[in-house]
A and B are shown apart, each in its own frame.
Chain A
């Protein structure tokens, strides 16, 4: 077991290195001089020379890469080429929103996906099964941003004036705001990682409101999160439901399930204890893999619902050619994705003894 864990974690580092290398290389194959891309075509030679010196573009490429590795491992992603803000600060400001959406969508997708999948498998070929599978097929074929716009149309425009009205954009209703935790707790002189953590928690509006017991803000924040979470969660929900169904069907056909039934266990016990647990492995794999879809979905959905997350920042950085921010965000998203897949892999070892022994 321990050996497996160690081996799996060691395998993580080459991937990490690869991600850093690819994102670094991506930023360097940039057509044209970054100086002119940032300062504009009219920049003078002297300005460019200073720009290169300031951003370290004059050093040999391997020196730049090592420096980049070192900085990132210290949590320093450099500064935005556009306005000179530290990128770490931008990340701390923008990421909590994206994480809130991702977690909400994940909960939504997993709960309903597994539930529908089980019902479909147990009541095979019933109306629920056929409906779920048609829904799942439509779900994986829909553009996320289109679903977002459609949901906004139904819930924000058509249902206006009813209790089911849901706000189509923004993070909090106007007039509602939340104070930074650092101010609430009088922690202005924090530095380094502690400050980063507090800022992060503080910017995650739901968490902040919950910690400070501000339930009015909490409710409002949740209210604004409902639509984005449903939208982002729909595709993963479809994939999870399909996977759960087929995995359950496969296990339900095995001999030991028949034995369990034969010895008189209730159907509930057979499904819950004997079938679901053994069908769980592939389901967990797709849940892990859907994190990628969730994060891509979050990026698209934020632009639809005008939410101040990483997605909206990423797009505006691309359009303003702020490659430093794009590079940092790509690294961070890939890192999250890889770490989650690592956790998924490790969870196999707990769920399935065969994995440990191999």
Chain B
């Protein structure tokens, strides 16, 4: 875990030392230029070991996702004619005969290049994770804000509903919703998003309740600020920290759940290059072609790991009080 980095927002020393965070050592405390809380948080974030690892992995995944149309050797859905299904990886540099076509990760059961499929899968998984969580945050924020501001009956109508959604194990509720909507990637994502809403609604609502009765909020009300204005200028800035942390961790959960649904045949349909689906399609070839199961799984794990590490780093950076607390995920 991170050794907490000494920070000194209050230091008023004028001595200009270097302002880049990488070269100033903790000993130069008295000589550090004063920083805004945001700069401090950023400093903690970039010095945090988990976030560094997370950023590296995520950067790599984003790079792959963005460049897959250029770098991928084949189309992810093109059925090749010159190879046998499920043939082993063939890498020229490692002694695979030059007259055979190179397939770094091998070929899948439908004679498609696995490397290309995994690379395109990065696009899909990142998109799935980010889009689904953004959607859940949007709806959750609206519901939480309405419940918090309106209070009374509106609150009583919204929040118990959210609590009950939390009473279901998330993935199983998504499965049940997909059962109703019918299998398909879009339906799976809707189901997962729906299940993720309550967490964000709760965070935003509690932020609203926290600031609603503050004097400065009363004051801005008296000055004619609308509920919308108060939401934007007072509530959301308060809620943004926990939402960002929860959202980052949530992306990992969403990617895992989406992969699980696709694995079960309830999500993405063939021939989509979705990692969970790729695993599900080849699960029975574990004996003769284990690489087809192994590689997509590693891809999922690395991506989810990146978001989890980032989330941990963000939590520790944004809320130094909680360095040792609140490791609970949910």
Q: Given that A153-B286, A282-B328 are known contacts, is A338 also in contact with B180, CB under 8 Å in the complex?
A: no
Partner among B176, B276, B287, B304 whose Cβ is within 8 Å of the Cβ of A330: B176
Tell whether B7 is near chain A: CB-to-CB under 8 Å: no
Q: Which residue of B lies closest to A124 (CB)?
A: B1
Provided the pairs A150-B297, A318-B266 are in contact, do residues A141 and B305 lie with their beta carbons within 8 angstroms?
Answer: yes
Interface residues of A in 112-147 (CB under 8 A from B): 133, 137-138, 140-147
Interface residues on A, range: 35 or more
A18, B172: Cβ atoms under 8 Å?
no
Q: A18-B160, A30-B180 are in contact. Are A141 and B301 (CB under 8 A)?
A: yes
Decide if A10 is an interface residue (CB 8 Å cutoff). no
Any chain A CB within 8 A of the CB of B317?
Answer: no
On chain A, the residues within 8 Å of B56 by CB distance are none
Assess whether A142 is in contact with B301, with CB atoms less than 8 Å apart.
yes
Q: Is B319 an interface residue (CB 8 A)?
A: no
Known pairs A140-B308, A149-B283, A157-B287; A292 contacts B169 (CB<8 A):
yes
Residues B175 and A149 in contact, CB atoms below 8 Å apart:
no
B178 close to A333 (CB less than 8 A): no
Residues of chain B contacted by A90 (CB below 8 angstroms): none
Q: B328 to A150, Cβ gap below 8 A?
A: no
Contact yes or no, B329 A146, CB < 8 A: no
Closest to B264 in A: A315
Q: Taking A239-B329, A296-B172 as contacts, is the C-beta distance between A249 and B279 under 8 angstroms?
A: no
Picked from B173, B263, B286, the residue with its CB within 8 Å of the CB of A300 is B263
The one of A26, A157, A242 that contacts B327, using a Cβ cutoff of 8 Å: A242
Decide: A333 near B172, CB < 8 A? Known: A18-B160, A143-B259, A144-B260: yes
Q: Taking CB as reference atom, which chain B residue is nearest A246?
A: B327
- Residue among A19, A21, A146 with the highest chain B CB neighbour number at 10 A: A146
B279 touches A314 (CB 8 A): no
Instruction: From known contacts A22-B164, A133-B1, infer whether A319 and B327 are also in contact, taking CB-CB under 8 Å.
Output: no
Report A-chain residues with C-beta under 8 Å of the C-beta of B165.
22
Chain B residue with Cβ nearest A338: B167
**Looking at the complex, which one of A23, A29, A146 makes contact with B297 (CB distance below 8 Å)?**
A146
Tell me if B161 counts as interface (CB < 8 A to partner A).
yes
Whether A353 sits at the interface, judged by CB under 8 Å, is no
Counting residue pairs across A and B whose Cβ atoms lie within 8 Å, the total is 160
Q: Tell whether, in the assembled complex, residue B167 and residue A15 are in contact, meaning their CB atoms are under 8 Å apart.
A: yes
B286 touches A326 (CB 8 A): no
Partner of A143 from B178, B260, B328, B330 at Cβ < 8 Å: B260
Asked if A27 CB lies within 8 Å of chain B CBs, one says yes
Known: A146-B300, A149-B279, A149-B297. A26 touches B177 (CB 8 A): yes
Contacts of A19 in B (CB 8 A): 164, 167-168
Provide the bound-state CA to CA distance between A300 and B256, in Å.
12
CB <8 Å contact, B177 and A143: no
Q: Which of A27, A133, A149, A303 has the most CB of B within 10 A?
A: A149
Nearest CB in chain B to that of A319: its residue: B265
Contacts of A314 in B (CB 8 A): 175
Q: Report the Cα distance A326→B181, complex, angstroms.
A: 13
- The minimal Cβ–Cβ distance linking B289 to chain A, given in whole angstroms, is 11
Q: Which residue of B lies closest to A335 (CB)?
A: B167
Partner of A14 from the list B160, B170, B283 (CB cut-off 8 Å) is: B160
Inter-chain contacts of B260 with A (CB < 8 A): 143-145, 296, 300
* Contacts A22-B168, A143-B297 known; 9 new A-B pairs at CB < 8 A: A14-B160, A19-B168, A137-B309, A140-B329, A143-B300, A152-B286, A289-B330, A293-B169, A315-B265
Closest 9 CB pairs of A and B: A292-B169, A146-B297, A18-B164, A296-B171, A141-B305, A141-B304, A318-B179, A330-B176, A246-B327
A sample of 8 cross-chain residue pairs with beta-carbon separation below 8 angstroms, ordered by A number, consists of A31-B180, A143-B297, A145-B263, A149-B279, A250-B324, A292-B170, A314-B175, A315-B266
